[in-house]
Copies of this chain bind each other. A is one copy, B any other.
Amino acid sequence: MSKIRHALNTRRADDFAQWYQEVISAADMAEESGVRGCMVIKPWGYGIWERIQRLLDARIKATGHDNCYFPIFIPLSNFEREAEHVEGFAKEMAVVTHHRLIADGEGGLIPDPEAKLEEPLVVRPTSETIIGDAMARWVQSWRDLPLKLNQWANVVRWEMRTRMFLRTSEFLWQEGHTAHENADDAKAHTLRMLEVYRAHAEEDLAMPVVAGEKPEHERFPGAVETWSIEAMMQDGKALQAGTSHYLGTNFAQAAGIRYQSREGAQELCHTTSWGVSTRLVGGMIMTHGDDDGLRVPPRLAPWQVVILPMLREDDGDAALLEYCERLRSSLGAQWACGEPLRILLDDKPGKAAAKRWDWVRKGAPVIVEVGGRDMDGGVVSLLRRDNLWGENGKPAFQTPTIEDAGQAIPAMLEEIQQALFAEAAQRRDANVKRGVSTMAEIEDFFATNDRYPGWVEVQWSRPTGAALDKVVEDLKALKLTVRNVPIGAEEVDGACAFTGDPAVERVLIGKAY
């Protein structure tokens, strides 16, 4: 049995869901707000989201998109136009019906009956319909195409069961919306943005993903094709971490997005939409967290290096702080992972050991402790958060000289970014089961791998209609879903695991968030 005294109460292996809640609380990332299904994102959680925003926004701008802002309210009539779309969302939208409150005569407030809206407004669950209206105004000719827009916004979907970052009634996201001349161009763009998401997940979040197409029954309401990136969490479940949709002419038809073609004809645009949300933060937690709390990849860490002077409120503190400042300034001019280093000298009051464990739980990539003895020896005591424990069951402090630390830390951050990705990729690769060829074998695999199920990759015939319904139902009985049809999977050779018909492609199957 390990001698290690971990910094959390719950082990991942014991209760992954409980562990997840505990990480969020121990790392001080977010909490329940008291408003149904909505969370408060606290500074450390929001700081990570700001990093995601900054890095992804640069990728979105680099692919030629402009940021805009569209109204949060969508008139009811917009939803009535696109039947399949409203069908997909109508069950879970917040509806504004009044624009004023009045006193109820008993010390309380009620919506003013005199201030009832003629047409109720929906708080956007997504903005296809309202942005479609704008595109219809903005697009006249093929010269205006492609039109490539993006918005960072809050959206609301009335969820019955919520879990912080993963599923909340209000969440923060970006939604990209583009209009194109034809299907080929729009489909190519759908895949281009899927690739942007893959690169962002893998390079920035250090979270390996499988990019692929969603099967028909898992499409976004109103979409012709839906593509996703799927990440494997440490409990083996899949997290859909981003989606990119080719919408055909469905929304263009509903909103009237038409253009004069090169040949002078009036044509409907082909549109796309794609989004990722604060759910990514949840994915990052469940990819990298360990039994001591969060581990934030250096590219996402609000602070990459935390310097902790072990202050004792005596005369030596000024010298100690000066020594810490020396390290900070030698690091201050350096870059890692493509940006200037982000360094915090945390000289707030508090016991040094308690502060160390706070930063361990928060997952700062490099923690540097500096005590009087370090200073006397010209060294610092440095912890790599990705590799916290020594073989003796104690924190694995390294004690380089202060000069060496100043030089080595930027390279160390690059290493941590790579190491976190490699660790997650290895775990993912080890837990995708191939060679399963029947429903019975699928059932058997998940029955014997209940704690850490992972995914199976099987061949199928891409069934439709009733045949697809049966597959979905059989899988559902095992709490399984088809995640996606991975891009770049091996060629098929044999029969569909479900129908026995000749297989046409491979699909990933797993439990999912």
Asked whether any CB of chain B lies closer than 8 Å to the CB of A221, the reply is no
Asked whether any CB of chain B lies closer than 8 Å to the CB of A67, the reply is yes
By a CB distance below 8 angstroms, the chain B residues around A46 are: 66-69
Assess the A111–B99 pair: CB atoms within 8 A.
no
- Chain B nearest CB from A282 CB (Å) reads 15
- Which of B43, B79, B100 is the one whose CB lies under 8 Å from A90? B100
- Chain B nearest CB from A112 CB (Å) reads 9
A38 to B99, CA, bound (A): 14
Assess the A43–B72 pair: CB atoms within 8 A.
no
A 19-52 binary contact with B (CB < 8 Å = 1; else 0): 0000000000001011110111111001101100
Using CB atoms, name the residue of chain B closest to A75: B35
By a CB distance below 8 angstroms, the chain B residues around A92 are: 99-100
- Which of B69, B110, B170, B349 is the one whose CB lies under 8 Å from A40? B69
Assess the A73–B35 pair: CB atoms within 8 A.
yes
CB within 8 Å for A76 and B109 given contacts A69-B41, A97-B95, A134-B33: yes
Asked whether any CB of chain B lies closer than 8 Å to the CB of A156, the reply is yes
By a CB distance below 8 angstroms, the chain B residues around A109 are: 76, 79-80, 86, 90
By a CB distance below 8 angstroms, the chain B residues around A121 are: 35, 94
A50 to B79, CA, bound (A): 30
A76 to B66, CA, bound (A): 37
Assess the A97–B71 pair: CB atoms within 8 A.
no
By a CB distance below 8 angstroms, the chain B residues around A262 are: none
Assess the B99–A95 pair: CB atoms within 8 A.
yes
- Chain B nearest CB from A174 CB (Å) reads 13
Assess the A101–B79 pair: CB atoms within 8 A.
yes
Copies per complex? Answer: 2
By a CB distance below 8 angstroms, the chain B residues around A122 are: 101
Assess the B50–A67 pair: CB atoms within 8 A.
yes
Asked whether any CB of chain B lies closer than 8 Å to the CB of A183, the reply is no
Assess the B71–A170 pair: CB atoms within 8 A.
yes
A 146-161 binary contact with B (CB < 8 Å = 1; else 0): 0001000110101000
Asked whether any CB of chain B lies closer than 8 Å to the CB of A345, the reply is no
Tell me the count of chain A residues lying within 8 A, CB to CB, of chain B: 65
Using CB atoms, name the residue of chain B closest to A155: B72
A170 to B69, CA, bound (A): 11
- Chain B nearest CB from A328 CB (Å) reads 16
Asked whether any CB of chain B lies closer than 8 Å to the CB of A143, the reply is yes
Assess the A91–B100 pair: CB atoms within 8 A.
yes
Asked whether any CB of chain B lies closer than 8 Å to the CB of A478, the reply is no
A39 to B153, CA, bound (A): 15
- Chain B nearest CB from A418 CB (Å) reads 28
CB within 8 Å for A101 and B90 given contacts A66-B47, A73-B170, A123-B123: yes
CB contacts under 8 Å to B, within A86-122, are 86, 90-102, 107-111, 120-122
A 117-144 binary contact with B (CB < 8 Å = 1; else 0): 0001111000000100110010000010
A485 to B173, CA, bound (A): 42
CB within 8 Å for A143 and B97 given contacts A66-B47, A80-B107, A90-B102: no
Assess the B102–A93 pair: CB atoms within 8 A.
no
- Which of B47, B96, B100, B134 is the one whose CB lies under 8 Å from A96? B96
- Chain B nearest CB from A421 CB (Å) reads 27
By a CB distance below 8 angstroms, the chain B residues around A66 are: 43, 46-47
A91 to B98, CA, bound (A): 11
- Chain B nearest CB from A508 CB (Å) reads 33
Asked whether any CB of chain B lies closer than 8 Å to the CB of A172, the reply is yes
By a CB distance below 8 angstroms, the chain B residues around A134 are: 31, 33, 40
By a CB distance below 8 angstroms, the chain B residues around A170 are: 71-73
- Which of B35, B91, B96 is the one whose CB lies under 8 Å from A74? B35
Assess the A71–B349 pair: CB atoms within 8 A.
no
By a CB distance below 8 angstroms, the chain B residues around A513 are: none
A90 to B137, CA, bound (A): 35
A180 to B135, CA, bound (A): 48
Asked whether any CB of chain B lies closer than 8 Å to the CB of A335, the reply is no
Assess the A70–B33 pair: CB atoms within 8 A.
yes
A266 to B317, CA, bound (A): 32
Q: Can you list 26 residue pairs at the A/B interface with Cβ under 8 Å?
A: A33-B70, A33-B133, A33-B134, A34-B75, A35-B121, A46-B66, A46-B67, A46-B68, A47-B66, A49-B69, A73-B94, A73-B170, A80-B108, A80-B109, A92-B100, A93-B99, A93-B100, A94-B121, A95-B97, A95-B111, A96-B96, A97-B98, A98-B120, A99-B158, A111-B120, A123-B123
Known contacts A72-B154, A93-B101; 7 additional CB pairs below 8 A are A33-B71, A33-B134, A35-B130, A47-B66, A72-B170, A76-B108, A111-B120
Per CB-CB distance, the 3 closest pairs between chain A and chain B, nearest first, are A43-B66, A38-B71, A41-B69
